[in-house]
Amino acid sequence: MSASDLRVGDDGLARCGWVGDDAEYRRYHDEEWGFPLHGDRALFEKLSLEGFQAGLSWITILRRRPTFRAAFREFDIDAVAAFDETDIARLLADAGIIRNRAKVEATISNARITRELIAGDPGALDRLVWSFAPTARRNRPRGFAELPAVTPEATALSAALKKLGYRFVGPTTMYALMQSAGLVDDHLEGCWRAPESG
């Protein structure tokens, strides 16, 4: 483990080094990242934000999340599924989000697919995503070098979503979703959020 893999904050707690000194990153790390997330709307939001993150840093998305939520009607699946060209134009003019037409259109398309998926079957997106959670616990990573960029489960989740028509759901993006939604817990050994450490 290198010195940068863990960082001790001014509160005396050791955290995964990617947190750095950013207060919002610290809150996200301590309260969200790696915690099990359930619910169709919550997972649709996470799926959407991970898609917007592709090619960017997560802190960029995290800092803009309140604006994303306002722009996408709190990621209400029915509301986003009903977006039209006027909404696309509104979103592409909103400097508070990532103004990428392909990602905006994919989010709307993904909402429509999700609406169909859960119609008459609430919880279907939740069950689909969580069906790919790894069953075997690998050893807790001791450093960043031990964290995979992709896993067989993330690849399988990506394939299942793509088969349904979802976009911006590549295997690397899906592994990031698995980490952030708590399907896997990649807090490093020694991090206060790692169960055996804290």
Question: One of 50, 130, 166, 192 is an active-site residue; which one?
Answer: 50
State yes or no: is 196 an active-site residue: no
Instruction: Enumerate the domain spans of the chain.
Output: 6-181
Q: Is 13 helix (H, G, I), strand (E, B) or coil?
A: coil
187 labelled binding-site residue: yes
Task: Name residues whose C-beta falls within 8 Å of residue 62's C-beta, 6 or more positions apart in sequence.
Answer: 24, 25, 28
Q: What is the pTM of this model?
A: 0.93
User: What tens-digit pLDDT sequence spans the chain (198 residues)?
Assistant: 455 799 999 999 999 999 988 899 999 999 999 999 999 999 999 999 999 998 899 999 999 999 999 999 999 999 999 999 999 999 999 999 999 999 999 999 999 999 999 999 999 999 999 999 998 777 889 899 999 999 999 999 999 999 999 999 999 999 999 999 999 999 999 999 987 643
Distance (Å, whole) CA 148 – CA 138: 12
Q: Does domain 6-181 have CATH number 1.10.340.30?
A: yes
Residue where the block lists tokens 């450490």: 197
